[in-house]
Amino acid sequence: MRLTILGGGGFRVPLVYGALLGDHAEGRVTEVVLHDLDAERLDAVSRVLAEQAAGVPDAPRVRATTDLDEALRGADFVFSAIRVGGLEGRAEDERVALAQGVLGQETVGAGGIAYGLRTVPVAVDIARRVARLAPDAWLINFTNPAGLVTEAMSRHLGDRVIGICDSPVGLGRRIARVLGVNPREAWIDYVGLNHLGWVRGLRVAGRDQLPRLLADPTLLGSFEEGRLFGADWLRSLGAVPNEYLHYYYFNRETVCAYQQAEKTRGAFLRDQQARFYEELRDPNAPALDAWNRTRAEREATYMAENRQTAGAGEREADDLSGGYEKVALALMRAIARDERTTLILNVRNRGSLSALDSEAVVEIPCLVDASGAHPVSAGPLPGHATGLVCAVKAVEREVLAAAESGSRATAVKAFALHPLVDSVNVARRLVEDYTRVHPGLAYLRQR
Ligand code: G6P
Ligand code: MN
């Protein structure tokens, strides 16, 4: 079984490899091909993986290449975890947006649109190559903004592309823990778009346990999302939102906090990772040790500004271990070995959410087996959630249209229609400024 990782020189690749190292069963991944544009980063990450594999007799073989087509040929699974424009691009996305008084987060608001506009053309090129060179492969998309990028790829790969994110699983796990419920025995009624979903219920043996949580301020104060949103607001909503909804419900405060921060998240990670790759230029540097240290710091500072505005304190130890590699491995196992399971994934809607058309990629519980991921039909969203989901999906569609046509006016429309962009004039200035700083947006022409 061969797994190809696009963005193979990326910082989070060792997480995936670590998960593979724990899988000794028949049908496991035996070969990993890393692809990246940057040979030096490939070398650095390969060294981390080699140290991880030490002493594991059945560790998957690792090969690295900068040739995309060669990386794709013969792949059974392709993970796409690319970052178009690098972390420098992410920092620019934030800076430009904040200068206009709006949010520049990589997946939410203006920043997410800018990142999407840069990434979609590259993702579409990859999808076309996969369709041609590895037509039977499954593509697992980690690349943010994950929902939008998955939808762009699905136009070429159909249901063979599946988007993943660890936020919903993390949220479900936290709620289950607080309620004293085994997450494996709970049905988590989570639905929405990527980074824009809500847990509406958590059923154990048919009984919804969420009302018990919503009624108890102490329980609500004992986990990340409870502290971020506050007990009163969660009770008003009657649901627990994905942590990324903090940027919507507390937009003014989060924009302010980001404007005042010493460094934005992208700038922090840009500098932090530059140090990591620099450290590994020394051939004798302990690679895994440097990676572990860097990762711990990244995890501890995740969404720090949001927690600060909410007075939510530090992250809990249990929340620092990530988890997206576990979702990825569970998904691959289910498909490759027909191990039937349920996972929250980004797939085409196909009637599961009545407010959206069937081609719209949504984030929803899916039954997964050898035939792929099948969304489970979800009850209708409450009005407030329908409003946001439909508005943001409309924005995503404008981003896809702009990427296809190269129309600048369509790009302006995408920014202007976003609920977190408060004026058409702001949208115009965002397109001006983003096209000035990002060479990857040169395709947006004046028409
Ligand atoms: C969460 C999100 C991902 C994001 C990751 C890292 O897991 O769901 O989409 O990539 O955090 O965020 P960071 O700010 O550290 O890049
Ligand atoms: Mn995510």
CATH number, position 103: 3.40.50.720
* CA 389 – ligand 1 centroid, Å: 20
Inter-residue contact 137 to 75 (CB < 8 Å) = yes
- Residue 245 within a domain: yes
- Residue 390 within a domain: no
User: pLDDT tens digits, residue range 77-127?
Assistant: 999 999 999 999 999 999 999 999 999 999 999 999 999 999 999 999 999
- In terms of pLDDT, which residue wins out, 72 or 445? 72
- Residue 377 within a domain: no
Does the C-beta of 144 come closer than 6 Å to ligand 1?
A: yes
Task: Decide if pLDDT at 278 tops 90.
Answer: yes
Same domain, 103 and 119: yes
Same domain, 67 and 130: yes
Residue with the smallest CA separation from ligand 1 atom 13 is 302
Q: Which residues constitute the domain of residue 174?
A: 168-249
Query: Where does the pLDDT of residue 446 fall: very low under 50, low under 70, confident under 90, or very high at 90 and above?
Result: confident
Task: Decide if pLDDT at 428 tops 70.
Answer: yes
Same domain, 151 and 17: yes
pLDDT at 377: 86
Same domain, 187 and 202: yes
Does the C-beta of 264 come closer than 6 Å to ligand 1?
A: no
Write down which residue in 163, 180, 198 finishes a domain.
163
* CA 409 – ligand 1 centroid, Å: 30
Same domain, 231 and 100: no
Same domain, 92 and 211: no
Does the C-beta of 166 come closer than 6 Å to ligand 1?
A: yes
Does the C-beta of 254 come closer than 6 Å to ligand 1?
A: no
Q: What would the 3-class secondary structure string for the chain be?
A: CEEEEECCCCCCHHHHHHHHHCCCCCCCCCEEEEECCCHHHHHHHHHHHHHHHCCCCCCCEEEEECCHHHHHCCCCEEEECCCCCHHHHHHHHHHHHHHCCCCCCCCCHHHHHHHHHHHHHHHHHHHHHHHHHCCCCEEEECCCCHHHHHHHHHHHHHHHEEECCCHHHHHHHHHHHHHCCCHHHEEEEEEEECCEEEEEEEEECCEECHHHHHCCHHHHCCCHHHHHHCHHHHHHHCCEECHHHHHHHCHHHHHHHHHHCCCCHHHHHHHHHHHHHHHCCCCCCCHHHHHHHHHHHHHHCCCHHHHHHHCCCCCCHHHHHCCHHHHHHHHHHHHHHCCCEEEEEEEECCCCCCCCCCCCEEEEEEEEECCEEEECCCCCCCHHHHHHHHHHHHHHHHHHHHHHHCEHHHHHHHHHHCCCCCCHHHHHHHHHHHHHHCHHHCCCECC
* CA 184 – ligand 2 centroid, Å: 21
pLDDT at 374: 98
Same domain, 258 and 155: no
Does the C-beta of 167 come closer than 6 Å to ligand 1?
A: yes
- Residue 315 within a domain: no
Inter-residue contact 394 to 221 (CB < 8 Å) = no
Over pLDDT 90: what percentage of the chain?
96
Same domain, 24 and 103: yes
Task: Decide if pLDDT at 73 tops 70.
Answer: yes
Over pLDDT 70: what percentage of the chain?
100
- Residue 388 within a domain: no
Stretch 324-342: mean pLDDT: 94
Which atom of ligand 1 is nearest the CA belonging to 107? Answer: 9
Stretch 20-41: mean pLDDT: 97
- Residue 292 within a domain: yes
Task: Decide if pLDDT at 322 tops 90.
Answer: no
User: pLDDT tens digits, residue range 187-226?
Assistant: 999 999 999 999 999 999 999 999 999 999 999 999 999 9
Task: Decide if pLDDT at 227 tops 70.
Answer: yes
Write down which residue in 234, 249, 264 finishes a domain.
249
Same domain, 149 and 186: no
User: pLDDT tens digits, residue range 137-176?
Assistant: 999 999 999 999 999 999 999 999 999 999 999 999 999 9
Greatest CA separation found in the chain? 60
Same domain, 201 and 281: no
pLDDT at 323: 84
Residue with the smallest CA separation from ligand 1 atom 2 is 167
- Residue 387 within a domain: no
Which atom of ligand 1 is nearest the CA belonging to 322? Answer: 7
| pLDDT mean across residues, the chain | 96
Same domain, 10 and 156: yes
User: pLDDT tens digits, residue range 113-126?
Assistant: 999 999 999 999 99
Query: Where does the pLDDT of residue 279 fall: very low under 50, low under 70, confident under 90, or very high at 90 and above?
Result: very high
Does the C-beta of 319 come closer than 6 Å to ligand 1?
A: no
Q: How many domains would you assign to the chain?
A: 3
- Residue 7 within a domain: yes
* CA 215 – ligand 1 centroid, Å: 30
User: pLDDT tens digits, residue range 361-413?
Assistant: 999 999 999 999 999 988 999 999 999 999 999 999 999 999 999 999 999 99
* CA 179 – ligand 1 centroid, Å: 25
Write down which residue in 249, 271, 297 finishes a domain.
249
Task: Decide if pLDDT at 319 tops 90.
Answer: no
pLDDT at 447: 64
Does the C-beta of 165 come closer than 6 Å to ligand 1?
A: yes
Same domain, 127 and 273: no
Inter-residue contact 254 to 248 (CB < 8 Å) = no
**Among 144, 245, 319, which residue has the most ligand 1 atoms within 8 Å of its CB, making it the best to mutate?**
144
* CA 107 – ligand 1 centroid, Å: 9
